[in-house]
Each structure stands twice: as structure tokens, then as C-alpha cells.
Chain A
């Protein structure tokens, strides 16, 4: 799992001329920050914002990118991951984009980053106070499939009438014997607002609860921003007799032996052979390095 072209940590560079810092104009950044402040003031509540045309299409992280662009500063150190990996095409492109328009330092190490933009995963390494995690969100509305009317859904949020969401969970248990949601698992934030945590696996939901980091969520196509301030209660929905549970695997990570991280299943041959490896590339690599150093010490 070695990066090919970009080193794990890059020093700040000069941004390309012709771009405003972080691409967006200052007025837009200011208005997005205002939305972020409102979002932080009402944890889990969706705030509409004027999403701008970005140099990538909807569905490619424009919401997350706009949030990052509004809060990023010259002294930040940025990490970008896509499904846990720093080296996939999207992660590399977004990281390069910010290097181009900000000249900001970047890193692949979670503990060295001040700002982390992620698509569909939370890093395994626990976050620290002062870190900011920006999630890319396709569909911000947790009631989207349950209540087709936007007006009615807004009313439900306003009046805390979330019965129909529990009806869906009841139906799952009736049909499958358990709540079968694997991702987009709805949570109750600060005991008041129902929130869609983005398509992170339900394995990651507990990481959001009482996190020391600031968590920001941006949906570009749907034009919504929401936030979880540090040390906020985040509880996954469940029933008293069907409590929330996370996935587990029979195998440890093939590379680093971890049994406590989210594993991706990889098919390795035409006979259907497969192995399981950590989805979080940085976590896996650091563990491997530690073990190597340990063996070297012993050896």
C-alpha cells in the first residue's frame, strides 16, 4: 500500500496564480461560514446554503470541497480520504486541487492533519481536539425515502415528530429480524435532531459520539450544511430489545493483523479467493511500520 506519486507529507507550496485562495471568492466563503456557524449552533439540523458551481460535477464531493474551502487557512495541514484510502483517484484529485488553489501543506497521517476531508469513512485513529473532519454528503435528508414531501419532512424536524423513521426500522426487524441498514444509519444528535451521517458504514457511527473534533457535513447538490460540535451526544437509532450493533469480521487484516478496524473484502483470483484488508490505508500502514520496527528491534 505505498503511494505512487505523492509523498505522505507535503510542505506548503505556492498556489497557482489566477485563483483566489481556496478557489471561492471571499463573499462566498463568508456566507458559507455563516451557514456553518448556524449549523454548529443547532447540532444535526440542516442549514440551506447557496452552493456554488465548482470545477467538478455534482456527486463528486462539491459540498465537502466548499466547506473545506471556506474554513481552510494557510497554516492548515490537509488530509483527504475516499472510502478510507488516501491514494484513490478522488482523494488524490481533491488533495491536488487544494494544493493548486491554496498551496497548503498536505499529509496522509491522520494525527498530523488539522483538516480532514472524507468520503464515506471516519479514520480509525481517534481524532484530537482542534481537528476538523469534513464529510461529503450525497443526501442530507434522513427522511428522504420515508416522507416524499419536503415541506412535511421539514415540519417533522421542526416538531421532532420522528415516528415514521422508527416505523421503517420496525419494518426492517419484521422483514430481516434485525435493523438491516449498513450505511446512512440515522442518528439522533444532541437528543433533538435526526441526522443522516452520510454513507459511512454503521461501524463508524460510534466514532461520532462525543468526538473531540468538529464534524462538518456538506451536500453540494442538495445545498445543505450541518454540523456536530465537539463533545456532542450522537446516538444511533434502535429499539430497546434490538439495540444498535456494528459489523464484525471473522478475519483480521491481512496486512497488519488489526481486528478493530473496518475491513474491505478484496477478491484476489478467479477462483473466488479473497482477503480482508483495512479500509483506512493510513491506519494500516502505520501499524505495519510499527510491527516492522518492532521485528527489526527484536531481530
Chain B
């Protein structure tokens, strides 16, 4: 007699106007080379972000802010839970996505600004900032013009534009 297979219940996307919906995120780290110690960091975290909102995460160091942020970008992989993102009009659950779909979400919808800016050395700031636009197929001149405009708005001194961000 065949065993009855229990299929996972398909998760339903949110019905709200939000742009980002994190549901019940659990994440722990297992350090295999330090005795296999398990460090739980996120335990059932939920967050909704609506259009135009600016959400601040506050908490003591070690409370999991950075882990949570990186999980939202899918840089860290969660053990369970959903991360719903409104991508090009449709809801997608980041942990369920395939690699190429995730790359597309990062190209078009999700951006990430880090304290520790891991950049490519030797390349001028203008070109580093222009790269995501070039990846989307934007013309080189147009991309660089857009970047220069943004740099001006962000009050980045012009003399720094041709230098590598590592300086």
C-alpha cells in the first residue's frame, strides 16, 4: 500500500497594500567547527512595511537587527517563515525563489545599503554606482548622468566621484 504523502500547504500571499511582509522568521546559526553550538537569533519575527514608510530597527547590539536585515535581502537564509515582497506587481516569497529569480528581485525591487560597503576596489565611485543600471541595460552615458545627479543630491563632493570608494 502506498504511503500517503503530506504535501506542504501552499502559503498564501498577503492581501494588503504593503510592499514587504516578513512572517514568523526563525533563524539560528550552527557553528560546526566550534562543537556544533547552535545560536538562535531570530525567533518568530514579523514585520510589515507599507509604501512610503521608513521603518527604524532599534535594539541592543546582538539582538539580531543585522541578521534580520540581511535575511530580508535573502543574504542570510532563514530556517522557516516567509518574506513576501511585491515585485513587479506580484507577491513573491523570497525563500521559495530560485537563484535567478532572486537576482531579478534584487536588480529591480530590493536595494541594500550597508555600513561596511563591500565594493570592488580600483573602480571609480561613479562606475560602481552606475553598475546596477548597466546591468539593467541602461546606456552608459545615461547611467553615469543619473549617478552624477544622485551624487549631487546626496551632497557627495564632486572631487571624490572618480576615486574608488575605499579611499
A contacts B: CB pair < 8 Å: no
List A residues at the B interface (Cβ < 8 Å).
none
